[in-house]
Amino acid sequence: MRRRLFLKGAGVVTVVVAGGAVWRAYDQGVFSVGEGPAYKPWKDWRNTANDGPLALVSAAILAASPHNTQPWLFKITNSSIELHIDMQRNVGALDPYLREEHIGMGCALNGSNVTAGTFAGGAGAVLAAKTPLGRLGRVSDIAPLAVFLASDESAWITGEVIRAAGGLVVAT
């Protein structure tokens, strides 16, 4: 009899604790997908009145990154956008050679490049005018370099900064 009473009591406590955990998660917005301050940039980046480099960075920060750390810092000047690795967001042993960090930076650069094309006459035109080639880069401009760097032929290249930016400084 006591054993049965104990098991009933333990079941009630378990249900109350689980219900409390679900209520707390609901109260904290865990089940509110796409809402809250973390999603504000996704809703606002297209509506910004800024048509310069800041508009490109606004879109670039939304890029996906390995381990979802967004490991980048931007330095914006009148003629350039510099992209740096934020070493405080390094995932340590999961990425000891910073390979994932660099892939994440590529996602951010790609996001800003794609966005530049969406700002007709705005940020894209401003940055294109500042490049010696007079245009923004395309995937076909970067793809051969990416293929080379992923191949065995690039095995002797270590720790180098290779600018594939049409002459415009976008990363250091």
Examine the domain organization and report whether 60 and 132 are in the same domain. yes
> Which residue spans within 7-148 are E strands per DSSP?
72-76, 81-85
State pTM to two decimals.
0.48
- The confidence score (pLDDT) of residue 117 equals 64
- CATH code of 126's domain: 3.40.109
Quick: pLDDT tens for 28-54: 777 777 676 667 777 776 666 556 677
Question: What is the DSSP-derived secondary structure letter of residue 134?
Answer: S
Examine the domain organization and report whether 17 and 75 are in the same domain. no
When divided into structural domains, the chain yields a total of 2
